[in-house]
Copies of this chain bind each other. A is one copy, B any other.
Amino acid sequence: MIPSTAVDAVIISCGTELVTGQCVDTNSAWLSAQLTPLGVKVVEHVTVGDNVTHLASAIRRALDGASMVILTGGLGPTLDDVAREAIAAAVGEPLEENSEALAQVRAFFDRWQRPMPESNRRQAMIPRGCEVIANPRGTAPGIRYSRDDRHLYAFPGIPAEMRAMFNAAVLPRLHAVTGGATTESARLLCFGISEAKLGEFLADLMQRGRNPSVGTTASQAVLSVRVLSEGGSAEEARRLLQADVAEVRRRLGTTIFGEGDDTLECVVARLLVEHGETIATAESCTGGLLSKRLTDIPGSSAYFLRGYVTYADAAKVDLLAVPADLVSKHGAVSEHVAGAMALGCQRAAGSDYAISTTGIAGPTGGSPPEKPIGLVYIGLAHSTGVETLRVLCGDHLTRDEIRDRSCKTALNLLRLRLLGVGSAEGR
């Protein structure tokens, strides 16, 4: 049993591809995001390469310092997968072929009517005394080790497998012991404000040592305000949290676009569905990213009608009826063309709204000072006309970032209109 007192956790990820930078570790963040709301305090993430000695020592240190250790990676079928050996070394037990684990690996191949490669037999080697955790989505069984009130869970590094196994093997135990959770957290998401400005608006709430604690983070132009409350009871923690969240909302108004895992596109989608309205897109510099985001959401066919990626000028003229002389007179990157693209798209698609993007995403193609890299025009056609917005992303951003900012700014423009707020406000 996991103890009912405060649980602290260390998350270890194993893989040479991680310490050499060939892959980004997303598992640790995902695990933290599951554990934190349940009152588990994740004190550290540690990443080591495929090295038995390094991994075994990281496991030993983690088990000394925290009551819960979650390890991901190193359970694959190939020779560079060292987690089984490292756990055995760290806990001082020999590796044995485990018949339950072997049956699970075999069953996976049987299900797909394929023969089991001999190398997969390695995945059935488990340190003596450990439990096997079933893997519903792959060949690698997980491993659970317990000593007194310390618990180690080892999962494969493939996210879909790890997540399913965590949900099945860890979550039910945690729900059982953290019924009286003492931590509550919220995350409010803002767009169109600087972090320093945000810090000034919230300075008194952000004093260190205060409960709830309030912190801010900037990531890809989205500013998060994180509120974390502690209380003697779940109810007290919730009450403290709600008071702070209400205060932050009062100060920031429509600069806040959402909460938690919200994205601008899912907020816009929600508003479109509520209004029973539809959208179409006409993209140049964003090249499909805007329609991609609008269709990331399940059920997007309710509001998204069609998208045009009019990358070449001829496509703008052919598909959106942008007058050719408008392009030759003002250039494709201009507010005139952005407006004409949005209107042409709205007309062709028969949608309530249409958004257009046209700009210079770089890294080449700018002609400063009039048209530098990072200059983007956004058009929004609506029931009473069209509005355009000039955005200067700044030439210190990459092509990806400029395309990302363009989409976010476009979605935010639409959001503010759907809310009935002038676009100048809340920016």
Binding site for B on A (CB under 8 A): 15-26, 28-36, 42-50, 54, 58, 76-80, 117, 119-120, 136-137, 139, 158, 160, 164, 185, 187, 195-197, 199-200, 203, 206-208, 213, 215-219, 224, 226, 228, 281, 283, 286-292, 294-296, 298-301, 304-312, 314-315, 319, 349, 362-364, 396-401
Contact = CB atoms under 8 A, between A and B. Distances in A.
Contact of A226 (B22, B29, B119, B197): B22
B19 A45 contact: yes
A20 B47 contact: no
Contacts of A160: 396-398, 401
A288 B287 CA distance: 8
A24 B29 contact: yes
A20 B319 CA distance: 47
13 contacts: A17-B219, A19-B43, A20-B226, A20-B228, A21-B29, A22-B224, A22-B226, A137-B396, A287-B294, A287-B296, A288-B309, A306-B309, A306-B312
A17 to B, nearest CB: 4
Nearest to A109: B196
A305 B308 CA distance: 11
B76 A195 contact: yes
Contact of A291 (B31, B309, B312): B309
Given A24-B25, A287-B300, 9 more contacts: A17-B219, A21-B29, A78-B196, A78-B206, A119-B196, A160-B401, A164-B396, A288-B289, A298-B399
A311 B300 contact: yes
Contact of A78 (B34, B77, B215, B228): B215
A372 to B, nearest CB: 15
A24 B159 CA distance: 14
Contacts of A307: 287-288, 307-309, 311
Contact of A217 (B15, B203, B289, B315): B15
Interface centre among A200, A295, A315 (most CB of B within 10 A): A295
Contact of A36 (B20, B185, B213, B288): B20
Contact of A117 (B58, B78, B196): B196
Contacts of A314: 305
Contacts of A164: 396
Contact of A54 (B44, B283, B301, B312): B44
Contact of A199 (B119, B196, B289, B400): B119
Interface centre among A16, A78, A294 (most CB of B within 10 A): A78
Contacts of A287: 291-292, 294-296, 300, 304, 307
